[in-house]
Amino acid sequence: MNRRPFDPRLLRRVPAARRDLALLALLGVVAAGLVVAQATTLAALLATAFDGRLDRPALAGFAATVAARALLVWAQGTVAARVAATVKAALRADLLAAVGRNGPGWVAGQRAGQLATLAGRGLDALDAYFTGYLPQLVLSVTVPLAVLARIGLADWSSALIIALTLPLIPIFGALLGWQAQAATERQWRRLSLLGGHFLDMVAGLPTLRAFGRARAQVDVVRRMADGHRVATMRTLRIAFLSALVLELVATLSVALVAVPVGIRLLGGGLALQTALLMLLLTPEAYLPLRAAGSRFHASQEGLTALNDAFEVEAGGPAPRPAAGRLVPDGRGEIRFESVTVAYERTTALRDVTLTVRPGERIAVVGPSGAGKSTLLGLLLGFVTPTSGRITVDGVDLAEADLDAWRRQLAWVPQQAHLFAASLADNIRLGAPDTPDAAVAGAVHDAALDEVVAGLPEGLGTVLGERGHGLSSGQRQRVALARAFLRDAPVVLLDEPTARLDSASEAVVLAATHRLVAGRTALLVAHRPALLTDADRILRIEDGRVTEVSPVPTGEAPR
Amino acid sequence: MSSAPLPDPAPGAADRPGRAPDDTPAAATRAGLLGPAAAGVAVPPEFDVAGPAAVDPPLGPSDPADRPGTAARAGAAERVVLRLARPYLGRLVGAGLLAAATEFAGLALMATATWLLMSAAGRPPLDRLTVAIVAVRALAIGRGVFRYTERLAGHDAVLRMITDVRARVFATLAARRTAPARTGDALSRLVSDVETVQDLLLRVLVPASAAALVSLLAVGGAALISPSAAAVLAVGLLVAGLALPTLATVLTRRSAAELAPLRGALAADAVDLTHGAADLAAFGATESALRAATGRAGRLARLERRLAAAGFAVDAVGTLVAGLTAGAVVLVALAAGVPGVLVGVLAVGTLSAVEIALALVGAARQRTQLGAGLTRVAVLLDDTAAPRPAASPPGSAPSAAEPEHGDGGHDIRLDEVTVRYRAGAAPALDRVSLDMRGGRRIAVVGPSGAGKSTLAAVLTGAVRPTDGQVTIGGRDLTTYPEDELPGMIGGLLAEAYVFHATVRENLLLGRPGAGEDELIAATAAAGLLDWVRDQPAGWDTVVGEEGGQLSGGQRQRLALARALLAAPPVLLLDEPTEGLDPTAADAVLASALAATPAGHSVLLISHRLTGLAGLDEVVVLDAGRVVQRGRHAELVSAPGWYRDQWLLQEAAERGYLALSP
């Protein structure tokens, strides 16, 4: 919570915003000058109006300052919004680039969800910070200083009072803020429990309903919501009280200035114009500080998003050493030499040595979590060996041009990700210039024809986010179509029929059978039907690989 | 329900490079190797938690913000909310008046202080100024106190109302027999929608009415001094309080409409680039996808800048109006021969008054932004949309949950039951007929997507058959009052929810008023008793939000214990051992079956085939149809899905030692 109001990393990380941020500061200085100018011209105007005369130059000056202030309000808002837009675009690009740079292994799991939210809508919280809080923060520095300088010119004793009382606002603000925060923290557990109760109950409604308790729970919801109200009011009372104290401090300070001014005016010791200037300007000195303080809370969400974005970048692993130039030939032999892969908490593969001869089809079996997918991840370059090395056609993958190597791989993952694009573009992934005829061929090979026929716009149908609209079996066939289109010498399949109903399974199996024909293939399998395609069967357990060949002579059950 | 902000963790995350196995059991369960949603075929919407919006298209019909007629609908929504405010009208009006008093005190303070200073310049005797001096002091203190009381009164009234809103929304949702699709996102949106009611009152209606009232008072006060100056002030106030807010509303609405599609597309890009990172890398498409997303982010930034330039023009005009009105008032007042002191009062007062009226611009923006949320929440508050829950005498629910001991009065019969979630889609259940005499123990097995969970949903009344009839105890299921059915049939359903409450409270949900002995028996049968005894707080251990402080296995055991405690005559157990390792799963299943009173029926839904040998019958579903039925021993010896699967699971659990029969 206690975070500095401006994150200096911003200047370093988003250089494009520097100029606009400097402009914003400059505009804050100009704004302060205009506050002073407006009060000065208005005081002059009213002082002459006291005698029933119209001071035309003062009126013109007043109108001009007002116009300038209006322009400034616009400029400040526009520049602040520009900073927000620039920073958001830059951070979005950075975040997404970090995903590309660090690779899929880094982004897997929970982090994917967090990143997607942050890069998507999470950063929009910066709008409120940049357009609401930051300009006010600048003004809270420039305006009091300008006011102080102007009043010092007119009447140094008043300026002295202001200079002495002004620091009371931040001091009291901090003291009361601590007080309020401590009170909130004491209540925090209770508040979050009561506040979360409603969400908890709504989320658990199906379960409540299953036990016939849904309606009986309405009263509980009301009671807990009422408890939340009481607890919230308790903390709000403290927050409002501190705002009241701050306001009274400001009021008293203004009174301290105003009383001697009035007495001197009455005694003829002060010109009316100067007195009016005091009246108009003094409150302005205290106002921006309080305004910035009251907006601080709203700025927190933006600062948190900013911090999250910076931390993602800082937390990424060291970029992979410069990609090699060597291009292995996928039609060569693939060798694992004493490969060990250790993750933070587990070792996925231990000292694996293994040779895959060209054209060989190898099935990989073993309990889940044993390291089967890691084996494929190594070949894809998503995972790097902790020790040992993998060579393809004699080229160490660590020194290979990964992009060129991956072009010789066709990969069918357990659950392929489908993109929010047309079905054709989903199949053409990575090869956007593929002619329609080739796509149609892949569709046919992957037994996707009937699916395409059933879609409203065939191959041109745009899929929803994450392939919405297709069933698991259909998605899996899209992944197979991708693999067919790739026409690569090496095929990697990761349990392509897991999670499919038996009808879809049969279709996918047939397509898989066609895909692996005549290619080097590694199939992670748990269905016996897949094993019939294999020349050899490897079993992985606890990270160790053993051979389970030859294929049993008895027909695998099907 | 899922705890992640996004409903679906990375597909297949449990077995993915870079991720340690069994790292979060809960997440792995959600990604569900065989969870009902994983198949993505037809799943009852209730169970669709992990599925990527399989039922509800993103930005679908639930998002009224992007459709025409938004303004009208938002207006109707506000009326619904205001109807709910009636009991608190007194407090709200009080808060509004206090807000007006606050603003008015500020205005009067500046005007009086100006009068005081300018009068003092005429060097009158001090006693002529005494009243004004006292007034300035009173107004200065009064403004702060008014603001303080206004905030307290307003928040108190609105929070009371929010209590009502929450209870009403919950009652509406509870009264629905079937809940709409609810992802984690939709749930948190529901919560923030409820909060929009608070913003509507505190940040729109109260300040707006206060500003309007003060504006009227200001014009009236000015008219006492000079009618012509008052007319000028009125014009300024109309521009600041009416024209500019209208303009701000139009601009805010337009920018929202222009930004929404681009922001949505960018969010989709972010999902694609993160969740699809592996696919993109493997197919060498990362670069182009990144370029496309960066380009879109840049386009969004340009659009945002352009829209901001228009939006802040309104604020600029506001500043201009305040100053120009003050200048014009001075001109007019001088021309009308108003005394100099009062010219000053008018000028300073005008500046303050227009400033107050400009608060309406902010209120208008806020109101526009609240529209979509309010519309959604109003649907849940509307009397016509939600029949009021039937009044039931207190304490009736617990008695309904009391088990009725087996008298053969709970035979279940399904007659040609068909369920179709969408017209034209493949049926989730296809003319299923099933006879289950009371007291029998039956397992329903089959591949995921076969219709097992749909069958459970039909039996609990959560899903109505498209065709066919279900009877329990000879009575049509649809004729049971909703509160009575759980006393008859229920138990552990898919995605059983563990509440953020104590272990005891979670258990008692199954049978309110159960004694310690019964708690112990049920918990022991689910294999959770040792864990409970190990906790310092025992039964009063609070299990974290969404059961997060429990492992997946413990959560499953808690849900199972609750179902065993409820012990309805027909006990449904939907994957009771999901998330447990095979040995534990066997033990828990056996003890759970043993703990079910004799005479009670059990319907076990399972993807595991171990431990089914003792059951009276096993029914195999595939693609919504019954394809095989019989006792375990019979099914294992006959060719078919069951035998294949049995051999396969045996092999898998023994580590593929047996590859051939």
3-class DSSP assignment, residue A333: coil
Helix (H, G, I), strand (E, B) or coil at B436: strand
Tell me the average pLDDT of chain B.
Answer: 79
Between B539 and A189, residue with greater pLDDT: B539
Examine the domain organization and report whether A503 and A536 are in the same domain. Answer: yes
Query: How far is Cα A297 from Cα A286, in angstroms, rounded to an integer?
Result: 19
Q: Domains along chain B? A: 72-175+187-381 (1.20.1560.10), 407-653 (3.40.50.300)
pLDDT value, residue B178:
58
CB B5 within 8 A of CB B185: yes
Residue A89 located in a structural domain: yes
pLDDT at B118 over 50: yes
pLDDT band at B339 (very low <50, low <70, confident <90, very high): very high
Q: What is the pLDDT of residue A382?
A: 86
Domain identity same for A8 and A114? yes
Closest residue in B to A48 (Cα–Cα): B340
Q: Return the number of other C-beta atoms located less than 10 Å from residue B105's C-beta.
A: 21
Each residue's pLDDT tens digit, A309-350: 888 876 655 555 555 678 888 888 999 999 998 877 678 888
- CA distance, residue A17 to nearest chain B CA (Å): 13
Provide the CATH number for the domain around residue A450. Answer: 3.40.50.300
Above 80 in pLDDT, residue A470?
no
Q: Which residues contact B5 (CB under 8 A, 6 or more apart)?
A: A113, A114, A117, B184, B185, B188
Give me the total of CB pairs closer than 8 Å, taking one residue from chain A and one from chain B: 560
Q: What is the pLDDT of residue B419?
A: 87
H or E segment and range at residue A388: strand A387-392
Report the pLDDT averaged over residues B308-323. Answer: 94
Which pLDDT value is given to residue A398? 86
Quote the CA–CA distance of B177 and A555 in Å, as a whole number: 50
Token couple for A385: 């060996």
Considering only CB atoms, which chain A residues are within 8 Å of B44? none
In what helix (H) or strand (E) does residue A505 lie, and over which residues does it extend?
helix A502-516
Render pLDDT for B357-368 as a digit per residue (tens, 0 to 9): 999 999 999 999
Q: In one letter, which amino acid is B602?
A: V
Using the predicted structure, report yes or no on whether residue A393 has a pLDDT greater than 60: yes
Are A351 and A235 within one domain? no
Taking CB atoms and an 8 Å limit, are B39 and A501 in contact across chains? yes
Check whether residue A45 and residue A147 sit in a common domain: yes
Q: Is residue A7 part of a domain?
A: yes
A329: three-class secondary structure by DSSP = coil
A162 CB burial (10 A radius; 0-12, 13-18, 19+): buried
* Tokens at A401, concatenated: 């041009």
ipTM of the complex: 0.84
| A190 contacts in chain B (CB < 8 Å) | none
Lowest-pLDDT choice from A506-510, B225-229, B323-327, B622-626: A506-510
Say yes or no: A85 and A198 in one domain: no
Q: Which of B34, B267, B460 sits opposite A210 (nearest CB)?
A: B460
The yes-or-no verdict on residue B315 having pLDDT over 90 is yes
Q: Does A221 touch chain B (CB under 8 A)?
A: yes
Q: Scan residues 527-556 of A and list those with Cβ closer than 8 Å to B.
A: 527-528, 531, 537, 539, 541, 548, 552-556
- pLDDT tens sequence across A62-80: 999 999 999 999 999 999 9
**Cis amide bond preceding A550, omega within 30:** yes
* Judgement on whether residues A238 and A294 belong to the same structural domain of the protein: no
Calculate what percentage of chain B has a pLDDT beyond 90.
33
Q: Answer yes or no: do A304 and A447 share one domain.
A: no
Cβ contact, residue pair B24, A110, below 8 Å: yes
User: What pLDDT, in 10s, does the model give residues A213-245?
Assistant: 888 888 888 888 888 888 888 888 888 888 899
| Residue-wise pLDDT tens digits, B137-149 | 999 999 999 999 9
In a domain, A275, yes or no: no
In tens, the pLDDT along A498-539 reads 666 666 777 888 888 888 888 999 988 766 666 777 888 888
Per the domain annotation, does A441 fall within a domain?
yes
| Other CB atoms within 10 Å distance of the CB of residue A399 | 15
The C-alpha atoms of residue A345 and residue B432 are separated, in whole angstroms, by: 48
* Confidence band, pLDDT 50/70/90 cuts, at residue A275: very high
Total domains present in chain A: 3
Q: Are residues A342 and A479 in the same domain?
A: yes
Residue A277 lies in a domain: no
Task: Give B221-255 pLDDT, tens digit per residue.
Answer: 999 999 999 999 999 999 999 999 999 999 999 98
Q: How many CB atoms lie within 10 A of CB A489?
A: 18
CB nearest to A199's CB, from B191, B287, B293:
B191
Poorest-confidence range of A295-304, B251-260, B443-452? A295-304
User: Do A251 and A303 fall within a single domain?
Assistant: no
Question: Highest mean pLDDT range out of A193-207, B1-15, B245-259?
Answer: B245-259
A200: containing domain:
156-269
Q: How far apart are CA A341 and CA A348, in angstroms?
A: 6
A555 in any annotated domain:
no
Residues of B in contact with A214 (CB under 8 A): 174-175
User: What percentage of chain A carries pLDDT values higher than 70?
Assistant: 90
Q: Chain B contact for A228, CB < 8 A?
A: yes
pLDDT in tens, B393-422: 333 333 333 344 444 477 889 999 998 877
What residues have CB less than 8 Å from A136, skipping those under 6 apart? A288, A291, A292, A295
CA atoms within 13 A of residue B575's CA, in its CB half-sphere? 22
Task: Provide the b/e sequence for A124-155 (b: ≥16 CB within 10 Å).
Answer: bbbbbbbbbbbbbbbbbbbbbebbbebbeebb
Do A486 and A531 share a domain, yes or no?
yes
Tokens representing A221?
Answer: 């919801």
Q: Does residue A328 sit within a domain?
A: no
Q: Which residues, including other chains, have CB under 8 Å from residue A545's CB and lie 6 or more apart?
A: A349, A352, A354, A538, A539
Distance CA B46, CA A385 (A): 43
Mean pLDDT across chain A: 84
Q: Does A114 touch chain B (CB under 8 A)?
A: yes
Shared domain for A129 and A190, answered yes or no, is no
pLDDT given for residue A369 in this prediction: 63
- Rounded Cα–Cα distance for residues B487 and A212 (Å): 7
A 10 A CB-CB count for B622 gives: 20
- In angstroms, what separates the C-alpha of A188 from chain B's closest C-alpha? 15
- Residue-wise pLDDT for B46-97, tens only, equals 322 223 333 233 333 333 344 446 667 778 888 888 888 888 889 999 999 9
User: Residue B637 pLDDT > 70, yes or no?
Assistant: yes
Are B15 and A100 inside 8 Å of each other by CB? no
Mean pLDDT across A105-113: 70
Residue A205 falls inside a structural domain: yes
The answer to whether A526 and B655 have CB atoms below 8 angstroms apart is no
Q: Which of residues 409-428 of A touch B (CB under 8 A)?
A: 409, 411, 413-420
- Residues 285-324 in A contacting B (C-alpha not used; CB under 8 Å): none
Please indicate whether, in this complex, the C-beta atoms of B52 and A468 are within 8 angstroms of each other: yes
Under the banding of pLDDT at 50, 70 and 90, the label for residue A268 is confident
- At residue A314, the pLDDT reads 67
